[in-house]
């Protein structure tokens, strides 16, 4: 390993599997990036301002990083993570960076390490390992580069060779940054995605007020089931104007329901009045996944279902720091029973696409691959979150391919808010897929010409096609 990254990263150590992987990778490494699902901030592309200092760009907002340091005794305040009550936290970027650098060894064996070393090497041109001893040199180098025009968001977007990127906005968002991007004349393709959790999940903070606001925005009567559904249809259409080709749904489980219109309307009335019956609130979420699938059948938005994360597991952290502070713990997740109501309704549709994700790898071979391998409406999203890692992606291919094939999967998405790491993440995914294909060829399970075709599909084509981009 010369410098921070090796050209043969993640390939077999030697021999024909290495040669094959390298060869496959050569054919795809420079393909444009299609990023159909992620969480970068459209404001960046709209305003095109310089990014902040290294720590506030790379450390403070990255829950992969601060959760690991926290697990080893570093306090979140010391890493600059803001508290809800505005209590004092570290604000000095350099101090935060040094703390991070001292603990960088903790990431050995993790994907965070691979992504960061890739960013350090390829984006910032650094070739010595990060440690306490090199922390300042790192900080100065990166800070200086971030001031340059060619390190502003749009320049990086172009340098990264991003063909299209999707952000995610809530149903109540006015999409003003997207409008600004569109009006700016800049050619970068940034699209939104419809994320209605705040107006679909009765447990969401401010749910009732959110529905009021949804009514105001759309002019629909969100006091009734019919008006509420119409409001969704309007918002979906509005999001489509800003390039949306998909909706995204982050539910605690994959449960769906298929109530009659009358029963659904009655349920909505109870929910709208603030039902405190946990089963009703659960049933409402379940019903809404099916309703969204039906709307997708009608308006063509691809439906993404991201279930199974227990958010904000620690009340202590939640109360002090708020949502999404690394305390999201995967839960065992069912699909075969949970999705049946939705599938009974629209699963055989050939023009609908529902993309399933999981944090529970036990479902890959047992449920997800068998479901996606037969229902025309279903496709499998890539290895997600904690599983978006070399071992995780390898297991995904090993456990889904034999039953669902490659063509019921949808390529890679980076799912990140860490803009600078996007090329690194796609690079890791491409490498892992090429290594997997190389193994199939080396074991004579696939011809070499097929592997080349598949490498391109997995790196580029499938995502474009599945997400209709």
Binding residues for a second copy restricted to 222-281, rule: CB under 8 A: none
Give the H or E element holding residue 320: helix 315-321
Alpha-carbon gap, residue 287 to 338, rounded angstroms: 11
Cβ 284 to a second copy shortest distance, Å: 22
Rounded-to-integer distance, Cα 139 and Cα 146, Å = 11
Q: Of residues 72, 88, 187, 260, which one binds a second copy by CB under 8 A?
A: 72
> In the set 5, 167, 192, 312, which binds a second copy (CB under 8 A)?
5
Q: Which of 122, 294, 340, 456 binds a second copy (CB under 8 A)?
A: 340
Distance of CA 117 to the CA centre of its chain: 21
Nearer to a second copy, 163 or 361 (CB): 361
Please tell me whether residue 35 binds a second copy under the rule CB under 8 A. Answer: no
344 lies in the binding site for a second copy (CB under 8 A): yes
Least Cβ distance, residue 54 to a second copy (angstroms): 22
Helix (H, G, I), strand (E, B) or coil at 132: helix
- Select from 389, 413, 416, 421 the one that contacts a second copy (CB under 8 A): 389
The only residue of 47, 106, 143, 146 in contact with a second copy, by rule CB under 8 A: 106
Near a second copy by CB under 8 A: residue from 169, 291, 360, 433: 360
Should residue 433 be labelled a site residue for a second copy when binding is judged by CB under 8 A?
no
- Stretch 116-145 residues interacting with a second copy (CB under 8 A): 129
Distance from C-alpha of 301 to C-alpha of 248, rounded to nearest angstrom = 10
Do the beta carbons of residue 404 and residue 373 sit within 8 Å? Answer: yes
Q: How far is CA 7 from CA 18, 260, 289, 369, in A?
A: 11, 57, 43, 32
Given a contact cutoff of 8 angstroms between Cβ atoms, the answer to whether 368 and 335 are in contact is: yes
Instruction: State the number of binding residues for a second copy (CB under 8 A).
Output: 94
Among 47, 163, 336, 456, binds a second copy (CB under 8 A): 336
Among 9, 146, 172, 265, binds a second copy (CB under 8 A): 9
Q: Residue from 399, 410, 459, 466 that binds a second copy (CB under 8 A)?
A: 399
Nearest distance from residue 220's CB to a second copy, in Å? 32
**Of the two residues 204 and 386, which places its CB atom closer to a second copy in the complex?**
386
Is residue 392 at the binding interface for a second copy, with CB under 8 A as the rule?
yes
- 220, two tokens: 């629909």
Mapped onto helix, strand or coil, the DSSP state of residue 339 is: coil
442 binds a second copy (CB under 8 A): yes
Angstrom distance (rounded) from CA 93 to CA 138: 12
Scan residues 187-226 and list those touching a second copy (CB under 8 A): none
Name the one residue in this structure whose structure tokens are 């720091």.
Answer: 321
Decide: is 6 part of the binding site for a second copy (CB under 8 A).
yes
What is the smallest separation between the CB atom of 8 and a second copy, expressed in angstroms?
Answer: 6
Cβ–Cβ under 8 Å, residues 63 and 323: no
421 Cβ contact partners less than 8 Å away, ≥ 6 residues apart: 115, 116, 118, 119, 414
Minimum separation from the CB atom of position 394 to a second copy (A): 9
The binder of a second copy chosen from 30, 73, 86, 262 (CB under 8 A): 73
Between 109 and 274, CB nearer to a second copy: 109
**Which pair of tokens denotes residue 108?**
């050995």
**For residues 180 and 374, which CB has a smaller minimum distance to a second copy in the complex?**
374
Q: Are 245 and 301 contacting, i.e. CB atoms less than 8 angstroms apart?
A: yes
Q: How far is the CB of 148 from a second copy (least distance, A)?
A: 30
- Per CB under 8 A, contacts with a second copy among 301-330 are 310, 313-317, 326-330
The minimum distance between CB 452 and a second copy, in angstroms, equals: 12
Residue selected from 115, 406, 412, 419 as contacting a second copy according to rule CB under 8 A: 406
Instruction: Output the smallest distance, CB 118 to a second copy, in A.
Output: 11
Task: Kindly report each contact of residues 120-127 with a partner whose C-beta sits within 8 Å and lies 24 or more positions away, as own/partner.
Answer: 120/4, 121/3, 121/4, 121/5, 122/5, 122/423, 122/424, 123/156, 123/420, 123/423, 126/4, 127/3, 127/4
CA distance 326 to 67: 5
Dihedral sign of CA atoms 84, 86, 90, 91 in order: positive
Nearer to a second copy, 134 or 234 (CB): 134
Choose among 405, 406, 424: nearest CA to 416. Answer: 424
Q: At what angle do helices 225-241 and 207-218 cross, to 10 degrees?
A: 70
Shortest distance, position 44 Cβ to a second copy, whole Å: 28
By beta-carbon proximity to a second copy, the closer residue of 184 and 401 is: 401
- Is residue 26 a contact point for a second copy (CB under 8 A)? no
Give the Cα-Cα-Cα angle 107, 111, 112 (nearest 5 degrees): 55
Q: From 28-36, 141-149, 194-202, 359-367, give the range in contact with a second copy by CB under 8 A.
A: 359-367
DSSP for 394-448 reads HHHHHHHHHHHTTTTB-------S-GGGHHHHHHHHHHHHHHHHHHHHHTTSS-H
Q: Taking the complex as a whole, how short is the minimal distance between the CB of residue 51 and a second copy, in angstroms?
A: 26
Instruction: Give the interface segment with a second copy, choosing from 42-50, 77-85, 145-153, 444-452 (CB under 8 A).
Output: 444-452
């Amino acid at each position: 390993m010369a410098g921070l990254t090796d050209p043969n990263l993640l390939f077999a150590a030697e021999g024909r599997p290495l040669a094959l992987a390298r060869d496959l990778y050569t054919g795809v490494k420079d393909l444009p990036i299609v990023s159909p699902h992620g969480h970068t901030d459209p404001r960046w592309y709209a305003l095109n301002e310089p990014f902040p200092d290294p720590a506030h760009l790379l450390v403070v907002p990255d829950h992969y990083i601060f959760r690991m340091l926290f697990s080893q005794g570093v306090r979140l305040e010391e890493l600059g993570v803001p508290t809800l009550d505005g209590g004092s936290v570290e604000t000095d970027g350099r101090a935060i960076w040094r703390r991070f650098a001292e603990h960088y060894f903790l990431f050995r064996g993790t994907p965070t390490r691979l992504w960061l070393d890739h960013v350090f090497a390829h984006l910032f041109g650094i070739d010595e390992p990060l440690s306490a001893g090199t922390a300042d040199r790192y900080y100065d180098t990166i800070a200086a580069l971030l001031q340059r025009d060619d390190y502003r968001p749009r320049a990086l977007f172009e340098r990264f060779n991003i063909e299209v990127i999707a952000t995610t906005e809530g149903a109540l968002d006015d999409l003003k940054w997207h409008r600004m991007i569109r009006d700016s004349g800049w050619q970068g393709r940034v699209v939104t995605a419809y994320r209605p959790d705040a107006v679909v999940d009765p447990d969401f903070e401010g749910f009732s007020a959110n529905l009021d606001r949804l009514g105001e925005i759309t002019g629909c009567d969100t006091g009734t089931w019919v008006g509420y559904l119409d409001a969704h249809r309007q918002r979906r259409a509005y999001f489509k104007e800003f390039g949306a080709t998909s909706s995204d749904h982050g539910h605690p489980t994959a449960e769906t329901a298929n109530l009659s219109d009358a029963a659904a309307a009655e349920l909505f009335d109870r929910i709208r009045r603030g039902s405190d019956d946990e089963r009703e609130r659960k049933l409402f979420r379940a019903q809404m996944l099916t309703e969204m699938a039906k709307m997708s059948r009608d308006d063509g938005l691809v439906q993404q279902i991201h279930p199974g994360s227990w958010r904000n597991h620690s009340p202590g952290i939640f109360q002090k720091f708020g949502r999404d502070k690394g305390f999201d713990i995967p839960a065992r997740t069912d699909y075969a029973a949970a999705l049946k109501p939705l599938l009974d309704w629209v699963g055989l549709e050939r023009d609908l696409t529902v993309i399933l994700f999981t944090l529970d790898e036990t479902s890959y071979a047992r449920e997800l691959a068998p479901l996606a391998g037969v229902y025309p409406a279903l496709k499998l999203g890539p290895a997600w979150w904690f599983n978006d890692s070399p071992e995780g992606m390898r297991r995904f291919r090993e456990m889904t391919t034999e039953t669902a094939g490659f063509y019921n999967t949808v390529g890679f998405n980076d799912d990140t808010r860490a803009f600078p790491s996007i090329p690194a993440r796609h690079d890791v995914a491409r490498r892992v897929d090429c290594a997997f294909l190389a193994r199939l060829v080396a074991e004579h399970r696939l011809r070499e010409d097929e592997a080349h075709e598949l490498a391109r599909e997995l790196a580029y084509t499938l995502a474009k096609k599945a997400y209709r981009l």
